[in-house]
């Protein structure tokens, strides 16, 4: 290690010999005090050390003996310390780190050499080490209690943070705090970035960072470089140089930051020293100096303390001169410097107001009776919110007022509006090559962005999202992608797109009120329309109803038949329909004797016939067939030629009429719809139908809110659907909506796409009109305009959206891009909005029944004709046989022509009756008008009588 020595300036050699002679013999106090210095090369503290010595030219004059050394090397620090001790320095000012602090403590305590340092304080009872920097344990604990932190992350460096860590851990054990400690010295930059992602994922938003100024600045810049939204975070910086940090980029992420400030920037003395510092050696500087940091102010106060202490010693005439050999610092046992204790006491007793406030030391060499200012990073920059001192602890002086945002500031710049190509929200015009800028785009969101900019009064530039995604957080890297990522990482100012408002997104970005409400819906390929069947007129009523009607019809007919049989009021009596004509005396002669009457063949039949004619006949209209006919006529609304006469029969008829009225009315009401509408039979109707089958695959957009909905849902049906989608092979997720729609159209009904209902409705209106939305929405959500956390655009954009909604412009925009520009007509089908005429296929079944009925009637008529002809022929044969038998019996009787004729007539009359009644048309009354055989028989009878 090369050491650079800075001997006493040569100007001292030009001092008058008298002065030097006086110094040697006339007085015991030296006029020049050699002050050692141990600083890293090019450090800010060394430059301030030189500046402070130049400012303190009073007697005794402090003369520097500086070694530029690596403070982290124990060997280099030991060599430099011993070198300065051998040169006879009265005190040393310098820096140390955790690797060399113990070595310096040991040397100072053994050799009685005072070491004044602006480095981080350490817990040691070494009175020869004066620590200019105040301790932060008590102020930090007071601040944690003020904010009621009981769960936080403590990030520290091994140099300055270990003592604070010990105090925090002790307090956490007493009060049950949950503290996560992170040693920054063990982390690489990549590991630290991963740590930030883990903290964001675990929602660890309260963080304490304790490290040196340079390290703290680099950490804050690294956090800012991640472009994370920090609105939910609260950082406490355990460092005394809050105003020394360059946190311009960090401030843009809107974090909540609290820290400590040791130097009072408004102090006039500090401002004067700071101005002198900026002008010090300015001719030799290539770059302009920065203002004093708090460590430089500590160094300046250290020189002031030394100068004051030696002045006090000089006034007190205390002999501190070092005569002869200064001694060996590595001697064993060590030989302490006799006058070192006097210098230590003088330094410890100094009381002054320096750049860092009140400077005072306790018996251990630590700063005491000091005051720290507590600062906060607000939206307008750092501001004081309180102070801490040993007597009163933390005192909050902040007065929080509602922040009134100045919207006029948003009009002075061009904002980047990120969006995504998604019809009809954002589309490229057909001739977009001829346009530049925002004019290349059209769609719902393009017009919405224009209206918002018009109401707020700012200019904007539309830019498509780089990765083509809406925005989701990667489970491994914890980084956001898509439009959300561009907002989080400061790559865009506003997102105007179909961006769903969700909890995880709201945690990192701000949303306006929804400009469109929607929900997740199911899109399937439209099934082929089912033509009405031949018997579609039966469809208005279910099969079960038709069966019940049939059974009701039969039951009512049977009940009507039974009550008509049991009720006496349904029976009626009637006389014989035909009266026998009186027999002509010229044609028929009565019997001349009783024997003739007794032996006459037709005598008994005539007697029975006369008795039956005297008694009236009782009939009933409601036989089983008439009952069926009555019920059928009432059901067909046509009535019948017979009606019940009894009260019981009328009750049956009345309730049947009421039943048929309701049934026929219901049937007629539904008939038109079933005959005119070509129904589509959908394979699924809801999410439950999808979940309980595996034939139809279904999926969502990869990296969107729909996928997150299923991923986080605790509903059993949706959990089952997510389990299927996650394990499906091939993958059911698509990169964009166009891919999902194309997959639905090409899958022949074997793929269903889950997407927002608004997009589903739009695609249903696009040719080839082969998709449809089935079922209701699975959830309820909205699209919102997004801005970064803490963006000044949030409130004016939100007010603009509300105003557009109240004016009805949002509804007009939706109607324009969804339905006015639709290609499939209202309803999404390819049919126009008009009533279609019935075709033959709609009513073919009715014609079939009519033709069938007519054919059945002809068949039944033919059967009836054949049956009746057979009966008539059989009856006529019997009559002819009877007539022939009567003719034969008449010819053989003696003198029985007249009787035979009468007997024939009576026999004919008896044989020709039916059920005791005479049927006139069954037997002719005149032989000349009858059948030829009957005329011949009659002629024979008359001839016999004439003979």
What is the average per-residue pLDDT within 903-915? 40
* Res 653: pLDDT: 84
Please give the pLDDT value at position 582.
Answer: 42
User: Which residues lie across from 249 on neighbouring strands?
Assistant: none
Q: Of the candidates 459, 466, 464, which has an alpha carbon nearest to the alpha carbon of residue 415?
A: 459
Q: State how far the alpha carbon of 418 is from the alpha carbons of 462, 469, 493, 595, 756, in Å.
A: 6, 11, 8, 134, 20
pLDDT of residue 278 exceeding 50: yes
In whole angstroms, what is the distance from residue 443 CA to residue 98 CA? 63
Examine the pLDDT at 350 and tell me if it is beyond 80: yes
Mean pLDDT throughout 876-880?
88
> How are strands ordered across the β-sheet holding 129-131?
61-68, 32-39, 91-94, 114-117, 129-131
User: Cα–Cα distance between 219 and 257 in angstroms, integer?
Assistant: 14
- The answer to whether residues 418 and 466 touch, using CB atoms and an 8 Å cutoff, is no
Confidence of residue 387 (pLDDT cuts 50, 70, 90): very high
pLDDT confidence of residue 598 = 43
* Sign of the CA dihedral running 916, 919, 923, 929: positive
In the block, residue with structure tokens 């006496």: 568
**With 50 as the cut, is the pLDDT of residue 778 above it?**
yes
- Distance between alpha carbon 297 and the CA centroid of its chain, in Å? 55
- How buried is residue 11: exposed, middle or buried, by Cβ count under 10 Å (0-12/13-18/19+)? exposed
Indicate whether 899 pLDDT > 60.
no
Whether residue 614 has pLDDT greater than 80: no
Least trusted range by pLDDT, from 433-442, 610-619, 831-840, 848-857: 831-840
Q: Rounded mean pLDDT of 698-708? A: 86
User: Residue 153's pLDDT is what?
Assistant: 94
State residue 286's pLDDT score.
53
Q: What is the pLDDT of residues 467-507, one digit of tens each?
A: 888 988 887 777 888 999 888 888 889 999 999 898 889 88
Beta bridge partners of 435: none
Contact 240, 294 (CB under 8 A): yes
The model's pLDDT over 546-560, given as tens digits with 9 standing for 90+, comes to 899 899 989 988 988
Asked if pLDDT for residue 617 goes beyond 90, the answer is no
Which residues sit opposite 372 in a β-bridge? 388
Rounded to 5°, the CA angle 243-247-252 comes to 135
Q: Which residues make beta-bridge pairs with 456?
A: none
Least confident of 474-483, 579-588, 701-710, 786-795: 579-588
What tokens does 571 get? 């029976």
Confidence band of 389 (pLDDT split at 50, 70, 90) = very high
Position 388 confidence tier, pLDDT thresholds 50, 70, 90: very high
- Identify the pLDDT of residue 530: 62
Mean pLDDT along residues 179-183: 91
Provide the 3-class DSSP secondary structure of residue 49.
helix
| Sheet strands side by side (includes 751-756) | 697-699, 751-756, 520-525, 771-774
More reliable by pLDDT, 710 or 825: 710
Query: Tell me, what's the pLDDT at 681?
Result: 64
pLDDT-derived band at 25, boundaries 50, 70, 90 = very low
How much is the average pLDDT of 512-535? 82
Work out the average pLDDT over 774-803.
90
In this prediction, residues 402-431 reach a mean pLDDT of 76
Answer whether residue 845 shows pLDDT above 50: yes
Percent of the chain residues topping a pLDDT of 70: 80
Residues 191-199 have a mean pLDDT of 88
pLDDT at 115 (0 to 100): 93
The answer to whether the beta carbons of residues 164 and 240 sit under 8 Å apart is: no
**What is the average pLDDT score of the chain?**
79
pLDDT value at 198 more than 50? yes
pLDDT score of 285: 57
Confidence (pLDDT) at 531:
63
Least confident of 64-78, 211-225, 602-616: 602-616
Contact 78, 99 (CB under 8 A): no
CA quadruple 63, 68, 74, 79: dihedral, nearest 10: -60
Average pLDDT over residues 518-539: 78
Residue 564: pLDDT over 70: yes
Predicted confidence (pLDDT) at residue 945 exceeds the cutoff of 60 = no
Spatial separation of the C-alpha atoms in residues 536 and 845, rounded to whole Å: 7
pLDDT at 916: 37
- Which DSSP string corresponds to 560-573? HHHHHHH-GGGEEE
State pTM to two decimals: 0.52
Average pLDDT over residues 248-266: 84
Helix axes 794-806, 444-456, angle to 10 degrees: 110
């Amino acid at each position: 290690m090369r050491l650079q020595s800075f001997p006493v300036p040569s100007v001292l050699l030009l001092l008058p010999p008298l002065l030097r002679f006086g110094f040697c013999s006339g007085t015991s106090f030296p006029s020049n005090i050699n002050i050692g210095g141990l600083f890293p090369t090019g450090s800010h503290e060394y430059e301030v050390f030189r500046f402070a010595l130049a400012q303190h030219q009073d007697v005794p004059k402090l003369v520097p003996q500086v070694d530029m050394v690596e403070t982290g090397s124990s060997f280099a620090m030991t060599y430099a310390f011993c070198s300065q001790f051998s040169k006879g320095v009265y005190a040393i000012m310098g820096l140390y780190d955790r690797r060399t602090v113990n070595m310096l403590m040991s040397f100072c305590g053994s050799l009685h050499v005072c070491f004044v340092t602006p480095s981080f304080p350490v817990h040691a009872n070494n009175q020869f080490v004066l620590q200019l920097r105040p301790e932060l344990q008590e102020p930090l604990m007071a601040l944690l209690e003020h904010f009621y932190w009981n769960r936080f992350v403590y990030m520290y460096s091994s140099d300055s943070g270990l003592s604070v860590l010990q105090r925090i851990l002790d307090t956490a054990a007493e009060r049950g705090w949950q503290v996560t400690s992170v040693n920054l010295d063990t982390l690489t930059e990549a590991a630290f970035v991963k740590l930030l992602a883990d903290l964001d994922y675990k929602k660890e938003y309260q963080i304490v960072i304790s490290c040196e100024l340079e390290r703290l600045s680099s950490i804050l810049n690294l956090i800012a470089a991640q472009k994370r939204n920090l609105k939910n975070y609260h950082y406490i910086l355990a460092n005394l140089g809050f105003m020394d940090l360059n946190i311009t980029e960090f401030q843009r992420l809107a974090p909540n930051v609290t820290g400590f400030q040791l130097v009072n920037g408004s102090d006039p003395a500090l401002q004067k020293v700071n101005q002198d510092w900026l002008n010090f050696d300015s001719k030799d500087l290539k770059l302009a100096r920065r203002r004093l940091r708090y460590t430089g102010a500590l160094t300046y106060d250290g020189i002031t303390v030394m100068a004051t202490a030696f002045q006090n010693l000089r006034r007190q005439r205390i002999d501190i001169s070092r005569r002869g050999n200064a001694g060996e610092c590595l001697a064993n046992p060590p030989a302490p410097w006799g006058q070192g204790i006097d210098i230590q006491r003088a330094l410890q007793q100094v009381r002054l107001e320096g750049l860092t406030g009140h400077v005072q030391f306790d018996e251990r060499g630590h700063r005491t009776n000091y005051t720290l200012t507590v600062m906060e990073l607000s939206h307008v920059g750092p501001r004081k919110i309180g102070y801490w001192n040993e007597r009163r602890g933390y005192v909050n002086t902040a007065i929080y007022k509602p922040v009134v945002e100045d919207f006029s500031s948003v009009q002075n710049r061009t904002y980047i509006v990120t969006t995504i190509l998604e019809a009809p929200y954002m589309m490229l015009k057909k001739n977009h090559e001829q346009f530049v800028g925002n004019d290349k785009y059209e769609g719902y969101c393009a017009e919405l962005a224009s209206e918002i900019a018009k109401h707020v009064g700012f200019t904007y530039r539309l830019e498509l999202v780089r990765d083509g995604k809406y925005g989701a957080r990667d489970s491994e890297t914890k980084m956001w992608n898509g439009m959300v990522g561009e907002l989080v990482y400061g790559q865009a100012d506003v997102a105007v797109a179909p961006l769903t408002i969700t909890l995880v997104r709201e945690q990192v970005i701000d949303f306006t009120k929804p400009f469109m409400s929607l929900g997740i819906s199911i899109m399937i390929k439209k099934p082929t329309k089912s033509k009405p069947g031949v018997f579609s007129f039966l469809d208005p009523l279910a099969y079960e109803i038709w069966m019940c009607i049939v059974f009701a019809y039969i039951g009512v007919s049977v009940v009507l038949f039974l009550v008509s049989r049991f009720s006496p009021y349904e029976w009626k009596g009637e006389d014989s329909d035909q009266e026998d004509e009186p027999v002509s005396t010229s044609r028929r002669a009565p019997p001349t004797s009783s024997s003739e009457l007794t032996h006459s063949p037709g005598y008994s039949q005539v007697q029975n016939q006369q008795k039956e004619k005297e008694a009236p006949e009782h009939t009933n209209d409601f036989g089983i067939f008439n009952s069926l006919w009555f019920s059928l006529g009432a059901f067909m609304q046509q009535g019948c030629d017979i009606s019940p006469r009894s009260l019981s029969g009328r009750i049956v008829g009345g309730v049947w009429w009421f039943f048929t009225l309701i049934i026929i009315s219901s049937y007629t009401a539904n008939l038109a719809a079933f005959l005119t509408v070509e129904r589509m039979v959908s394979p699924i109707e809801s999410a439950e139908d999808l979940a309980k089958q595996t034939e139809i695959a279904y999926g969502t957009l990869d990296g969107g809110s729909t996928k997150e909905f299923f991923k986080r849902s605790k509903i059993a049906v949706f959990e089952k659907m997510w389990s299927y989608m996650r394990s499906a092979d091939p993958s059911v997720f698509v990169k964009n909506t166009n891919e999902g729609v194309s997959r639905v159209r090409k899958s022949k009904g074997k793929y269903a796409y889950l997407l927002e209902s608004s997009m589903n409705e739009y695609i249903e209106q696009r040719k080839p009109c082969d998709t449809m939305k089935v079922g209701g929405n699975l959830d309820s959500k909205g699209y919102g305009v997004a801005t970064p956390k803490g963006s000044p655009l949030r409130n004016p954009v939100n007010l603009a959206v509300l105003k557009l909604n109240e004016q009805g412009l949002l509804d007009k925009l939706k109607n324009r891009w969804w339905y006015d520009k639709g290609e499939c007509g209202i309803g999404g089908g390819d049919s126009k909005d008009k009533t279609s005429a019935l075709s033959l296929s709609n009513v073919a079944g009715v014609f079939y029944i009519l033709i069938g009925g007519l054919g059945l009637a002809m068949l039944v008529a033919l059967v009836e004709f054949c049956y009746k002809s057979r009966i008539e022929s059989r009856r006529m044969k019997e009559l002819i046989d009877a007539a022939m038998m009567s003719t034969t019996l008449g010819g053989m009787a003696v003198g029985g022509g007249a009787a035979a004729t009468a007997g024939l007539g009576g026999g004919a009359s008896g044989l020709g009756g039916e059920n005791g009644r005479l049927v006139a048309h069954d037997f002719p009354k005149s032989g000349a008008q009858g059948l030829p055989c009957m005329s011949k028989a009659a002629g024979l009878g008359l001839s016999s009588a004439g003979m």
